Amino acid sequence: MGNTDSKVDFRVAVVQLTSHSQQIEPNDESFWDQFWSDKISSAQDIFALVPAAEIRALREELPSNLATLCNKLVDRLQLAAENSCHTHREQTAAINCVRLLTRLLPYIFEEPEWRGFFWSDIPTGQQQMTSNGEYVSKPPLAERLLQTLADLLFCPDFTVASKKKKGPENPEDIHTIDSCEYIWESGVGFSQPTIHVPSNDRNRTEILKLLLTCFSETIYMAPTVDQHSRPNKWLAYFTSGQNRQTLPLFTSLINIVFSYDPIGYLPYNYLLFTDTREPLVEVAAQLLCITLDNSSISSTDQPNTSGEDSPNLFLNYLSRIHRDDDFNILLKGICRLLNNPLIQTYLPGSCKKIGFYQELLMLFWKFCDRNKKFLFYVLKSSEILDLLVPILYFLNDARSDASRIGLMHIGIFILLLLSGERNFGVRLNKPYTTRIPMDISVFTGTHADLLIIVFHKIIVSAHQRLQPLYDCLLTIIVNISPYLKTLSMVSSNKLLHLLEAFSSPWFLLAAPDNHHLVFFLLEAFNNLIQYQFDGNANLVYTIIRKRQVFFALSNLATDASTITKLSTRNTSITSTTTATIPKKNNEVLVNKQTVFQANSKSNSDSEPQLNRDFIPQPNTNAPGVISNAMITTLAETPSIHTMTERTLAASSSLDDNNLRTRSNTTNESSPSSTRPASPPLSTTTASNLFPQNDNGLWSATSEWVQSWKGKLPLQTVMRLLQVLVPQVEKICMDRGLTDESEIIKFLQHGTLVGLLPVPHPILIRKYQPNSGTVMWFRTYTWGVIYLRNVDPPIWYDTDVKLFEIQRV
C-alpha cells in the first residue's frame, strides 16, 4: 500500500511539471527532490509513470521546465558522485536520476532543435559563484553527465566492491582511488581476483544503459553520408582523453563480456538463482560495439582501421592488445559464448542459452578489423573452427527468417574477412566430427564440406532479401578453393548444382550481373583442379558426370533471335510479379528467385527448391492478425566489388610440389587460360551494351553476351574432360564397371601432369573497408540494440530515422 502511495506521489509531481501554467522555479528544491527520492524502485516504474506524450508536451509547451529538470538531474548525479554514494539515500537518488535521464534523452534527441541543449553554455545565473562573487563557468551539461557516469562506474560499494574496511574513519573517495585497481573482472590486462556483488551488477547495468542512450543521437539521423560526416559529440568526448576512466572502463567491459560463463557448474542454475550478470554482459557488449565504431563517415576517404592513431581511445586500446595470453582469453570467451546456443545435454533445458550472439559476432568483427594481430592469432589457432561451426549454424537457422536478415549478413561478412587469409582455407580440411542439429544433407567430410553444403542451402532456400549476398557467398568459396584437399561427394554435387542453375541460358540473360556468379564458380573449379586435383576425385567424378553443363555453357547461343526469345520469357515472368517487388530491383529479384524451380526438372539430385519461401505469406498487418515481432531495416548491402580488393596469393601458399609439377608442363591453351577468372564487366559497362525495353526493364543483346562469353575460364575444365572422359568410358566398358566407387578409385590414381594449362595465379579477394560497410554496420548495430532493449523499451515509439521499424 505504501509503495502504491509513493508511486501516486511521483505521478502527481510529473503531472504538476507538465501541466503547470508557468515555469517551476529552479530553487524549489522540495519539488525537484521528488524525482529522485526512494519512492521509485525500478526503471519500469519510471517508464510507466512518465508517458511519452507528456514528455513531448513538456518539450513543446514548457521547455524551461524540461531544461531545468535535466539540469537538476545532472547536478544531483554530480553531488552523489562527489559524496561517493556512501549512503543508501545517495545511491537511490543516483540510480533514479539515471533512470529518469534514460527516459528523457530519446525525446530530446528526436527533436533537432533540442540536440544542442546538452552542449550549450550554462546561463550566467546558473553558474557556480566563488567567494569573491565571480562566476565560474561550468562545462556543458553533456560533459558533466558523461564524466559523472564514468566516475560512478568505479564507485566503491555502489558499482565496485570496496577494498577497505567499512567504517566512517577511512571511506574510499571516488576522486582519489586508482580506478585501474577496481576493474570489474580479471582477464585482459588485469589478473587480480574480483568479488561478485549482485547489487553492483544491477547498478552498472542501469548506468551503461544510460550511456547507450546518450550515444543514441545517431539513430535520429537519416542514413546519409551528409548526416553522419560529423562525429557524434557524446561518443567523441566519452572515448577521448578528456574522460579519465577510459582505460579501466575499456578493460572492465572487455573482461566482463569474455569471462562470462552462462552455464556454471550446476544444472538448471538459472532457474534456481537470479542471474544479474547476463543483463550486464549484454549491455556491456552493446556499449563496446558502439564505442568501437567510427566517429564519422566520409564519402571519399577510406576508414582508418588500424586504430593506433585514432582519437578514440577505445579503438586505440583495442589495437594495442598484443600478448598471446590476452588473445587466448578473448578467443576462448568468444568461442564459449557463441557455442552456448548449440549445447545439447541429456537434461533438457538444463543449460542457460544466451541471446546476445549478434553482439558477439559484431565484436568479433570489430576485433579482427581493428587488430590484425588478433586476426592472425585466430587464423593460427585450431579454435578457428569452433567459431566457424556456430556461425554456419546461425546462418542455416536464420536463412528463411526475415527478422534475422542482419544476422545472416554479419555471419557472411565475417567468413568473407577470414577467407581472405590462407590459414583459414587450410584449417577447413580438418574432418568435421561434431554433430549439431542442422537440417542439411548427411555427409562425411571436412569443415569445408559443411561450409559448402550450408552455403548451397542458403542460396536455394533462403529469403529473397539475401540475394545481394550471393556474390559474397561465392567469393568465399573461390577464396578457399585453392586449399581444399578432399571434397566429399555431397559438397561436390552441391557445387555442380549451383553451376547448373546459374548457367541456365534464361537466367544468364535475366540481369546484367548474373553471369558474374558463373565466373566465380568456374574460378573455384579451376583452383580445385589446378592445385588440389590429387585429393578431389569426388569432384572430378561429379564434373565428368555433369559434363553437359560445361558443354552447354561453352555452346551458349549468342545469336540475336535466341537471345530475344529468352529475354521475352524473362520479361513475361517479371511482369507477373513486379507488383510486389520494388521497381529498382524487380528483374534481379524475380529472376534469381525462380532459377532453382525452373531448373529442377533437369536436376537429378532432388535439390531443394528456391521458391518454397516465396509463397505469399499471410499479411500480419491485416485486421485480426496480431504480431509483436519487429525488425529494423538495414542500409543497402555494399557490392562485392566495393567490399573487396583483389590480390595475388603469395607463392608460399601453394603446395610446392604441385606448383613445380604444373609449371614445368607445356600447353597449347590460349593466353586467357593463365589468367584467373574474373567478372569482366561492371554493371555500368554492361548496361551500355543493351537498351531498356518499353517496360523500363533492360534486355540482353547479342553484343553483350559475346562481350563476356569469350572470357569464360573454361579451358581447364574442358581439357580435363577431354583427357579423362575417354579413359573413364574405356575402363567402364573393359571392366564392366557400374559402381561409382570403382570409377572414383580409378580417378584417385589418375594424373593430369603435363596435360593441363599452366596454373593461373591464385586470386584472393580480401575485405576492404569502405564508407558503405561502415554505414551498414552502424545501421545494423543500432538496429540490434534497439530491438534488444525492450525492458524497459528505451527507444520504442520515438521518431527513429537511421532505420525503419517493421512488424513481421
Helical (H) or strand (E) element with 45: helix 43-49
Q: Mean per-residue pLDDT for 746-751?
A: 81
Residue 331 in grid coordinates: 578467443
Q: Mean per-residue pLDDT for 466-491?
A: 94
Check residue 138 and give left, alpha or beta (phi > 0: left; psi -120 to 50: alpha).
beta
Which DSSP string do the residues of 91-148 spell out, in sequence order?
Answer: HHHHHHHHHHHHHHHHHHHTSGGGTTGGGSPPPGGGSEE-TTS-EEPPPPHHHHHHHH
pLDDT at 760: 79
319-357 pLDDT tens trace: 999 999 999 999 999 999 999 888 765 556 556 788 899
Strands 644-648 and 135-136: unpaired
pLDDT at 679: 54
Beta pairing partners, 125: none
Which DSSP string do the residues of 756-795 spell out, in sequence order?
Answer: SPPPPPPEEEEE---HHHHHHHHHHHHHHHHHH-BTTBSS
Torsion of the alpha carbons at 440, 417, 394 and 283, rounded to the nearest 10: 170
DSSP code of residue 611: G
434-463 pLDDT tens trace: 878 888 888 999 999 999 999 999 999 877
CA distance linking residue 175 with residue 578, whole number of Å: 64
Residue 159 in grid coordinates: 558499482
Which DSSP string do the residues of 266-306 spell out, in sequence order?
Answer: STTHHHHS--SHHHHHHHHHHHHHHHTS-S---SSSPPP-S
Q: Percentage of the chain surpassing pLDDT 90?
A: 50
CB 353 within 8 A of CB 400: no
Residue 569 in grid coordinates: 520469357
CA distance linking residue 639 with residue 6, whole number of Å: 57
pLDDT at 601: 41
Strands 763-767 and 644-648: antiparallel
662-680 pLDDT tens trace: 434 333 333 334 445 555 4
392-424 pLDDT tens trace: 999 999 998 888 899 999 999 999 999 999 999
CB 254 within 8 A of CB 288: yes
Beta pairing partners, 648: 763
Mean pLDDT of the chain: 82
The least confident of 180-194, 243-257, 588-602 is 588-602
Beta pairing partners, 805: 632
CA distance linking residue 148 with residue 156, whole number of Å: 14
Q: Which residues of 631-660 are buried (b: 16+ CB within 10 A; e: fewer)?
A: bbebbebbebbebbeeeebeeebbeeebbe
Who's near 190: CB < 8 A, 6+ residues apart?
180, 183, 251, 255
Q: Please report how many Cα atoms fall inside a 13 Å half-sphere around the Cα of residue 514, on the Cβ side.
A: 27
DSSP code of residue 639: P
pLDDT at 13: 86
Single-letter amino acid code for the residue at 630: M
Single-letter amino acid code for the residue at 173: D
pLDDT at 188: 95
Residue 225 in grid coordinates: 553520408
DSSP code of residue 576: T
Residue 51 in grid coordinates: 508517458
The SS3 of residue 647 is strand
**Nearest one of 83, 92, 117 to 33, comparing CA atoms:** 92
Residue 161 in grid coordinates: 566492491
Strands 128-129 and 135-136: antiparallel
The SS3 of residue 203 is helix
Q: How many CB atoms lie within 10 A of CB 444?
A: 11
Residues in the chain: 808
Measured in degrees and rounded to the nearest 5, phi and psi for residue 437 equal -70, 100
267-307 pLDDT tens trace: 556 555 677 899 999 999 999 999 998 666 654 445 555 55
Q: Which of 118-132, 318-332, 395-409, 555-569 has the highest mean pLDDT?
A: 318-332
**Exposure of 437 by Cβ count < 10 A (0-12 exposed, 13-18 middle, 19+ buried)?**
exposed
CB 475 within 8 A of CB 644: yes
The SS3 of residue 709 is helix
The CA–CA distances, whole Å, from 758 to 224, 664, 680, 695, 763 equal 48, 8, 21, 47, 15
Is-cis flag, bond preceding 671, omega within 30?
Answer: no
CB 414 within 8 A of CB 363: no
pTM metric for this prediction: 0.87
Check residue 696 and give left, alpha or beta (phi > 0: left; psi -120 to 50: alpha).
left
CB 502 within 8 A of CB 463: no
The SS3 of residue 433 is coil
228-259 pLDDT tens trace: 888 899 999 999 999 999 999 999 999 999 99
Question: For 355-435, where are the E strands, in sequence order?
Answer: none
pLDDT at 364: 97
pLDDT at 635: 87
139-174 pLDDT tens trace: 999 999 999 999 999 999 999 998 876 555 555 777
Annotate 326-353 with three-state secondary structure: HHHHHHHHHHHHHCHHHCCCCCCCCCCC
How big is the CA angle at 630 (ends 342 and 462), to the nearest 5 degrees?
55
Residue 572 in grid coordinates: 513475361
Q: Mean per-residue pLDDT for 73-101?
A: 94
Question: For 480-533, where are the E strands, in sequence order?
Answer: none
Largest Cα–Cα separation, the chain: 111
The answer on pLDDT for 619 being more than 70 is: no
CB 232 within 8 A of CB 217: yes
Residue 66 in grid coordinates: 524540461
